[in-house]
Amino acid sequence: MSIIPTLPDYIFTERLGKGSYATVYKAYQKGNTRDVVAVKCVQKSSLTKSSVENLLTEISILKKIKHNHIVELKDFQWDDKCIYLILEYCSGGDLSHFIRSKKRLPEPLVQRFLQQLAKALQFLRSQNIAHMDLKPQNILLSSVSNPVLKLGDFGLAQYLNPDSEATSMRGSPLYMAPEILLKHLYDARVDLWSVGIILYECLFGEAPFSSSTFAELAEKIKSSNPIQLPYGAQVSEKCKDLILKLLQRDPNKRITFDEFFNHPFVDLEHMPTEETYSKGVELIHKAVKSDVDGEYESAINFYSQALDYLVPHLFHEKDRSRRKEMRKKFIEYVSRAEELKKLSKMKIQSQKNDNTESISNSNPSFEELLQSKPELKKGIYLAAQADALVSSECYDDASEVYKVALELMISAVSGEPAGPRKDLLYTEVDKWMQKAEDLKSYISIRKQEKRLARLSSISETVSYDKSKEQIESTCLIQ
């Protein structure tokens, strides 16, 4: 049984776990703040040459890294017995325990975790670091109720030049890329394979090659059969596509890092963060402005871009009432965009019809019809007047005139016996009726201008409130 270590500045409590070369304890910092930390203790006596290398690599890497999705190394100390890494405490434990406790995780949550993992990997890549030992045990969670993923344990990480390749055996067999086991040269792309396995395990509860013996595992990894999802797996097409692209046995056929970061299931661009929320809000402001200026096409574009940024926040907002409020607001944006689509269609239509000469008028039999139907002639004349009123933005007047015009046209239809003439009449009346209907809905939409003004003021108040919302750190298990 290991003895709980001591450090002058910390009070050690329970043991959190044991890794390949260290034991991790929970501890409190002495003094006023009593900050909770995790202390990773490595007994010097247990250090082999490779453990020392592992540890020194971990220290040197972690010390330089500050990232929201990477466990922070706050400090490190040593005494004659141990080397102590003072780490940010992650009360949610590791992802492996989390998956076991839930059996499997819902896709939106998996997507959220994946985005966070991808962010960490993207950052590591920018620092020329490959992790090389990605597995759920090395992925920690900030808390159980509101878990934010933190990548830890860089014992096996190494600085990689873009074209450098390693030949030594690294990683954990279950998560290990086939090229490692097959003893070929391998590189940072092994991390992509491991991401695929982790993704698979999160969604289906166990890794694709889970086996009772190493020999069985080795056999499965060596096989050339393509990876398949469990029978009846219910995942989105995007998600399935990504897993299969990550779990390509041949690293040359595997998805590349850039493709991974840009894959629609990862979609880092729209990952719910403080920045994407602000981007969304900014786009709403632009949408409302274009809307007020009557620039419908650009307003529609801005609304839809804004929603791409804002909607993912909805799925990860933990506070019920805040979520309800957000949903309501987003629905308003969606329906406004829909209304604008209608308006824009109408605008185009009305431009087409600016020429008051009806296309039908050029039809000789229609001309005949007009001569024999004075009500129709008058009706069409009035309808054209209504069109002119629309162009002058006198919408209510136009609506009234359409009404009278249609009454006249309908009376012309009623006396007409069935036949091609009547069909022609119907077509004409139908056309004007459609226009009158469109105008009606346009008027009702215009009446919502007040609502729009309210919308505008709402969008201004949707500025990010860190303390209340914590969207970056919020993860909803639905």
7 sits near ligand AMP (criterion: CB under 6 A)? no
Interaction with ligand AMP in 113-132: which residues (CB under 6 A)? none
- Give Cβ neighbours of residue 244 (< 8 Å, ≥ 6 apart): 226, 227, 229
71 sits near ligand AMP (criterion: CB under 6 A)? yes
Active site residues: 133
153 sits near ligand AMP (criterion: CB under 6 A)? yes
Interaction with ligand AMP in 32-51: which residues (CB under 6 A)? 38
Using alpha carbons, select from 379, 377, 402 the residue that is nearest to residue 389: 402
Complex with ligand AMP: residue 41 or 376, whichever CB lies closer? 41
135-143, 340-348, 419-427, 438-446 -> range binding ligand AMP (CB under 6 A): 135-143
- Cβ 57 to ligand AMP shortest distance, Å: 13
Inter-axis angle of helices 320-352 and 449-461, to 10 degrees? 140
Interaction with ligand AMP in 9-28: which residues (CB under 6 A)? 16-19, 22, 24
**In this chain, which of 47, 77, 93, 473 binds ligand AMP, going by CB under 6 A?**
93
Q: What angle do CA 20, 220, 262 make, to 5 degrees?
A: 75
Complex with ligand AMP: residue 47 or 388, whichever CB lies closer? 47
**CA pair distance 164, 160, nearest whole angstrom:** 6
- Cβ 169 to ligand AMP shortest distance, Å: 18
90 sits near ligand AMP (criterion: CB under 6 A)? yes
Q: Which residue is nearest to ligand AMP (CB)?
A: 19
- Cβ 282 to ligand AMP shortest distance, Å: 36
Which DSSP helix (H) or strand (E) runs through 76?
strand 73-78
- Cβ 95 to ligand AMP shortest distance, Å: 9
Cα 346 versus chain centre, distance = 33
Using alpha carbons, select from 352, 362, 339, 326 the residue that is nearest to residue 464: 326
Complex with ligand AMP: residue 94 or 201, whichever CB lies closer? 94
**CA pair distance 162, 168, nearest whole angstrom:** 18
251 sits near ligand AMP (criterion: CB under 6 A)? no
Cα 130 versus chain centre, distance = 25
Q: Which residue has the tokens 């003439």?
A: 421
72 sits near ligand AMP (criterion: CB under 6 A)? no
Complex with ligand AMP: residue 36 or 233, whichever CB lies closer? 36
| 138 DSSP 8-state letter | G
- HSE of 235, CA atoms in CB hemisphere, 13 A: 28
- Give Cβ neighbours of residue 115 (< 8 Å, ≥ 6 apart): 266, 267, 268, 271
133-141, 181-189, 339-347, 465-473 -> range binding ligand AMP (CB under 6 A): 133-141
User: Using CB under 6 A as the criterion, which residues of the chain lie in contact with ligand AMP when the complex forms?
Assistant: 16-19, 22, 24, 38, 71, 87-90, 93-94, 137-138, 140, 152-153
